[in-house]
């Protein structure tokens, strides 16, 4: 580790020559080369890591940076890139964004102390990928407006306004019922192809990335052999339904199913 730097850890994996070779071509969150820490005599596992500047990733500075949406998005993209690049070669246990250690010795100590827990999690994730499924209600863009009624001179402006609002309410109700149907279809698909589900918070405000209103945001752990079928069927889950659409992403490394307790050895 160079002077004035900390060790940023992206994931844990089993050691292999192929993994070691693959990391050489990957740049980390600050452009520094990625490398493996470990294995040790006590642990057969390795950490995928890179050095990061101490003045940016110490606890106080990091907390300030994490409030900067642009900085956080860039960090998340780079973090994700490293994990996906290594996951192409082996099963990895992704660690939380901005997992930082004082030095590589502390990373090695973590691998030794948590060997059994980490290995158990890796074995559970072997041969599986993560797929994300988000449902959106989008009445405005997916539901054509009703034909304008012929002017009715018997209606006052107030009554005409109320009738228009009833039409809008009916469209929203139809879309919510469609979302419920789509969710039932996805649950049936998951019973066939997935082994676990993780529910995430609905995306709102700056976190909302799709058109419309996000009404469900789930991740599924799927055996690799079932990934294509799950992707195809989940993508078709809103076929024939009005005012609702689905966004299916992946396959990814199993981020949502790899959560570990916060390590005591992370940098202060």
Quote the mean pLDDT of the chain: 84
Average pLDDT over residues 135-161: 60
**pLDDT of the residue at 104:** 95
Assessment of whether the complete model's pTM goes beyond 0.85: no
**pLDDT > 90? residue 127:** yes
Average pLDDT over residues 100-108: 94
**Coil, strand, or helix at residue 218?**
strand
The answer to whether the CB of 13 falls within 8 A of the CB of 125 is no
Phi-psi region at 14: left, alpha or beta (left = phi > 0; alpha = psi -120 to 50): beta
203 vs 9, which has greater pLDDT? 9
**pLDDT of the residue at 112:** 93
* pLDDT, tens digit (0-9, with 9 covering 90-100), for 168-209: 555 566 788 889 999 999 999 999 999 999 999 987 765 556
**pLDDT of the residue at 205:** 60
- φ, ψ of residue 25 in degrees (nearest 5): -95, 5
**Complete edge-to-edge strand list for the sheet that includes strand 213-223:** 196-199, 213-223, 128-137, 244-252
**pLDDT > 70? residue 257:** yes
Phi-psi region at 105: left, alpha or beta (left = phi > 0; alpha = psi -120 to 50): alpha
**pLDDT of the residue at 24:** 82
> What is the CA angle 126-234-259, rounded to 5?
35
Where do the structural domains in the chain lie, given as residue ranges?
Answer: 5-125, 128-255
140 vs 239, which has greater pLDDT? 239
**pLDDT > 90? residue 52:** yes
**pLDDT of the residue at 157:** 65
Q: Which of 1-5, 141-145, 152-156 has the lowest mean pLDDT?
A: 141-145
Q: What are the C-alpha distances in Å from 134 to residues 159, 219, 259?
A: 38, 9, 21
The answer to whether the CB of 82 falls within 8 A of the CB of 13 is no
Helices (H), the chain: 17-23, 54-57, 59-65, 69-87, 104-113, 115-125, 139-142, 157-193, 227-235
**pLDDT of the residue at 143:** 43
How far does Cα 209 stand from its chain's mean position? 13
Distance CA 211, CA 214 (A): 8
pLDDT band for 140, please (50, 70, 90 cuts).
low
* Residue 181: half-sphere exposure toward Cβ, Cα within 13 Å: 16
* pLDDT, tens digit (0-9, with 9 covering 90-100), for 34-49: 999 988 888 889 999 9
CATH topology of domain 128-255: Alpha-Beta Plaits (3.30.70)
How far does Cα 186 stand from its chain's mean position? 18
Phi-psi region at 235: left, alpha or beta (left = phi > 0; alpha = psi -120 to 50): alpha
* pLDDT, tens digit (0-9, with 9 covering 90-100), for 54-95: 988 988 888 888 888 899 999 999 999 999 999 988 999 999
The CA R_g of the chain, rounded to the nearest whole Å, is 24
262 vs 76, which has greater pLDDT? 76
Distance CA 59, CA 98 (A): 10
pLDDT band for 243, please (50, 70, 90 cuts).
confident
pLDDT band for 2, please (50, 70, 90 cuts).
very low
**pLDDT of the residue at 116:** 92
């Amino acid at each position: 580790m160079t002077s004035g730097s900390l060790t940023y850890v992206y994931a844990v994996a089993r050691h292999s020559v192929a993994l070691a070779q693959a990391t050489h071509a990957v740049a980390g969150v600050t452009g520094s080369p990625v490398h493996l820490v470990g294995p040790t005599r006590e642990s057969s596992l390795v950490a995928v890591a890179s050095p990061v500047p101490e003045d940016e990733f110490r606890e106080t500075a990091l907390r300030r940076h994490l409030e900067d949406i642009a900085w956080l998005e860039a960090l998340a993209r780079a973090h994700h890139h490293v994990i996906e690049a290594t996951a192409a070669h082996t099963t990895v246990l992704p660690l939380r964004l901005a997992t930082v250690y004082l030095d590589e010795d502390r990373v090695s100590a973590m691998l030794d102390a948590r060997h059994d827990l980490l290995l158990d999690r890796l074995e559970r994730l072997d041969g599986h990928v993560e797929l994300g499924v988000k449902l959106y209600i989008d009445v405005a863009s997916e539901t054509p407006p009703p034909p304008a009624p012929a002017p009715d001179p018997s209606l006052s402006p107030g009554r005409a306004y109320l009738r228009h609002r009833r039409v809008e309410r009916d469209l929203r109700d139809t879309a919510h019922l469609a979302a419920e149907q789509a969710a039932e279809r996805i649950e049936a698909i998951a019973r066939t192809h997935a082994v676990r589900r993780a529910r995430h918070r609905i995306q709102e405000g700056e976190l909302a990335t799709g058109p419309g209103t996000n009404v469900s945001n789930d991740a599924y752990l799927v055996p690799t052999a079932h990934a294509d079928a799950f992707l195809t069927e989940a993508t078709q889950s809103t076929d024939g339904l009005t005012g609702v659409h689905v966004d299916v992403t992946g396959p990814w490394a199993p981020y949502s199913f790899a959560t570990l307790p916060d390590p005591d050895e992370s940098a202060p």
